[in-house]
């Protein structure tokens, strides 16, 4: 006897399965190029990269180039690092290219997966940023994965906190740049404090891949990046915020004893905004996370520290 639930599930696939089925067809196209790229000489790879760039500049859609581009990266990796991308990594590369989140466990090759989407999106010359969680990984991944990019005819660099503006500008001009979220953020802030665009170290943003997306876009995002010039008048603000903190109640904040950290809850944010508006410190139509209130948010976070 046929189980009606099984029949129903076969007829109506989950959205996730439909997405996997769609991407699997792309993977087959990538695999169809494998024999051809295996027959190439090493010197042919930069030439094929140049050819892909020309096709892109002549109006060909980047998605049409994807199968061939991914196949080139896979073969390049096999030759210079003895690491061949598995089909599941190709699936992850397609997801990253399309701006989606690819969940991969430790050891499944996230770093290698990134090279697929990074190479493809660097072909138009606008630059790709790969955002990592610390300076060590930014430098390591740039050096190790850079072997693949250089074999293919692209340049690769990294940003760390020891570099001066000259080195930063040079590395931001590479086809692919590895950097931490904080370095990218502070360079953006510093560029906006300069008097001339000629002194900017960053170029216009085009495409970025975020490694460890949960850590960077959730955990790290709770710590604001604050940069300042000469101090102005802010002594009074300390006294004002000092009056707000004692009025908070237990539901207004979360305490992480292990990390020795305190952060506002959604309820707490609303409570603080009400208090600041009552004290005429914040405009009625604004919120604590508005860019003009970043100094208020910084003072609140500092006052919460035990």
Q: What are phi and psi of 180, to 5 degrees?
A: -80, 160
How far apart CA 51 and CA 101 sit, in angstroms, is 30
pTM for the whole structure? 0.71
pLDDT surpasses 80 at 254: yes
d(CA 235, CA 199): 32
Q: Would you say the C-alpha torsion 149, 107, 88, 220 has a positive or negative sign?
A: negative
| Each residue's pLDDT tens digit, 53-100 | 999 999 999 999 999 999 999 999 999 999 999 999 999 999 999 998
Predicted local distance difference test score (pLDDT) of residue 8: 47
How does residue 7 score in pLDDT terms, banded at 50, 70 and 90? Answer: very low
Q: Is the pLDDT of residue 33 over 70?
A: yes
The predicted pLDDT at position 77 comes to 97
- List, for residues 195-220, the tens digit of each pLDDT value: 888 999 999 999 999 988 877 777 77
CA distance 147 to 54: 23
Q: 3-state DSSP call for residue 42?
A: coil
- H/E stretch holding 254: strand 253-256
The residue assigned the tokens 């790969």 is 130
Residues 281/240, Cβ–Cβ less than 8 Å? yes
pLDDT higher than 50, residue 272: yes
Average pLDDT rounded to a whole number, residues 160-169: 93
Question: Exposed, middle or buried by CB within 10 Å (0-12, 13-18, 19+), for 88?
Answer: middle
User: How far apart, in Å, are the Cα atoms of 150 and each of 54, 76, 103, 164?
Assistant: 18, 10, 27, 24
Asked if the model's pLDDT at residue 302 lies above 60, the reply is yes
Domains of the chain: 14-221 (3.40.50.300), 235-304 (3.90.1440.10)
Q: Three-state SS for 262? A: strand
pLDDT at residue 228, as a whole number: 63
**Torsion of Cα atoms, 99 then 100 then 103 then 104, to 10°:** -40
Tokens 């693949």 -> residue: 148
Give the separation between CA 110 and CA 96, rounded to whole angstroms: 11
Q: Is the pLDDT of residue 120 over 60?
A: yes
- Residue 231's pLDDT is what? 53
Q: Which residue has the tokens 């930063």?
A: 168
- Tell me the percentage of the chain whose pLDDT exceeds 90: 54
Strands 128-132 and 156-158: unpaired
What distance in Å separates the CA atoms of residue 99 and residue 120, rounded to the nearest whole number? 13
Q: How many CB atoms lie within 10 A of CB 295?
A: 14
């Amino acid at each position: 006897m046929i189980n009606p639930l099984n029949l129903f599930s076969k007829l109506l696939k989950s959205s996730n399965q439909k997405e996997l089925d769609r991407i699997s067809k792309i993977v087959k196209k990538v695999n169809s190029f494998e024999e051809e790229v295996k027959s190439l000489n090493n010197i042919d790879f930069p030439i094929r990269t140049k050819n892909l760039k020309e096709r892109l500049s002549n109006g060909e859609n980047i998605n049409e180039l994807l199968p061939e581009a991914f196949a080139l990266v896979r073969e390049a990796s096999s030759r210079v690092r003895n690491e061949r991308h598995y089909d599941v990594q190709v699936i992850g590369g397609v997801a990253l290219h399309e701006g989606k989140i690819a969940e991969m466990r430790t050891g499944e090759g996230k770093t290698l997966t990134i090279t697929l989407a990074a190479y493809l999106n660097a072909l138009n010359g606008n630059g790709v940023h790969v955002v990592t969680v610390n300076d060590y990984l930014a430098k390591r991944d740039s050096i190790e994965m850079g072997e693949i990019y250089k074999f293919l005819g692209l340049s690769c660099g990294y940003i760390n906190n020891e570099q001066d503006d000259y080195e930063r500008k040079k590395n931001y001009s590479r086809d692919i740049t590895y950097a931490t979220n904080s370095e990218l953020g502070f360079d953006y802030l510093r560029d906006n404090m300069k008097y001339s665009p000629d002194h900017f170290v960053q170029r216009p943003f085009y495409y970025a891949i975020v490694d460890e997306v949960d850590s960077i876009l959730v955990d790290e995002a709770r710590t604001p990046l604050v940069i300042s010039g000469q101090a102005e008048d802010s002594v009074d603000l300390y006294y004002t915020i000092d009056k707000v903190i004692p009025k908070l109640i237990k539901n207004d904040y979360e305490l992480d004893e292990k990390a020795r950290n305190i952060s506002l809850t959604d309820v707490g944010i609303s409570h603080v905004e009400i208090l600041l508006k009552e004290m005429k410190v914040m405009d009625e139509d604004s919120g604590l996370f508005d860019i003009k209130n970043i100094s208020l948010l910084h003072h609140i976070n500092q006052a919460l520290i035990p």
